[in-house]
Amino acid sequence: MTVAVSEQTRERLLSAAREVFSECGFQGATVREICRRAGANVAAVNYHFGSKDGLLAEALHFESLKLLQDTNASADACPEVRLNLFIRDFMHMLLDENSTSSQCKIMARELADPTPALDQIVREAIAPLHEYLANLVNEIVGDGMSETELHRCVHSITGQCLYYHHSHPVLQRLHPELRYDGKEIDAIAKHIADFSLHGLKFFAKSA
């Protein structure tokens, strides 16, 4: 199964774009840097994607959220365990610097610094994630919850997770000893899961 040379350049550009976008944000990223990393010409972005915006739209387009595939693997476990697993996977993708997948990082970036492609990414990536979590919370808490409260619970979980990612520069200054190695990430994930599961109990009781 041969792949056209142009197809290879496209893929290298997309990969480089995801990298740079997740590092620098959309505004901070430059077409030149992306092309440099992709080993392509400066004009390549506009040639292949029409514009920087076009490249972003394409770079944000994920066939399916790898995160959900992973966690769906454990679909038969109880919801509490699945929440634990989800948070652990999410945090690893978010914080592990060696993580090859920049899907979650670029998604988190988009949250904090929206781009023209926000509609798309909400639709394709964030909404499914939110929905997955909402189902999980529903299973844990029981059906007696209002839609609004359900959403807020999901936000409470998501907010905790993203905080470690997007406030990393702040946390580094606040706690200079902090390092995001595998063990630390696991511990953080465990904390968030514990904190959240007990937080959810309040809503379960009140239902």
Partner DNA sequence: AATGAATGAGCCTTCATTCAT
Partner DNA sequence: GATGAATGAAGGCTCATTCAT
In the complex, the residues that contact DNA under the rule CB under 7 A are: 4-6, 8-10, 29-33, 40-48, 50-53
Query: Angle 133-136-139 (CA atoms, 0-180°, nearest 5)?
Result: 150
Residue with tokens 């997770």: 161
Cβ atoms of 13 and 44 within 8 Å: the answer is yes
Alpha carbons 186 and 89: distance in angstroms, whole number = 9
Shortest distance (Å) from residue 23 CB to its own copies = 11
Shortest distance in whole angstroms from residue 28 CB to its own copies: 6
Interface mask (CB under 8 A) for its own copies, residues 154-173, using x and -? -xx-xxxxxxx-xx-xxx-x
Segment near its own copies (CB under 8 A); pick from 32-40, 76-84, 91-99, 115-123: 115-123
CA 48-30-10 angle, to 5 degrees, is: 25
25 binds its own copies (CB under 8 A): yes
- Residue 16: CB atoms within 10 A of its CB come to 22
Task: Determine, following the binding rule CB under 8 A, whether residue 176 of this chain makes contact with its own copies.
Answer: no
Interface size with its own copies, residues (CB under 8 A): 49
Between CA 116 and CA 118 the distance in angstroms is 6
Q: How far is the CB of 58 from DNA (least distance, A)?
A: 12
State the Rg of the chain over Cα: 19
> Is the separation of the CB atoms in 60 and 120 below 8 Å?
yes
* Residue with smaller CB distance to DNA, 44 or 150: 44
Binding window for its own copies (CB under 8 A); candidates: 49-57, 61-69, 81-89, 191-199: 191-199
CA 58 to CA 17: how far, in whole Å?
10
Q: Applying CB under 8 A, which residues contact its own copies?
A: 25, 27-28, 110-114, 118-119, 122-123, 126-127, 130, 149, 151-153, 155-156, 158-164, 166-167, 169-171, 173-175, 188, 191-192, 194-203
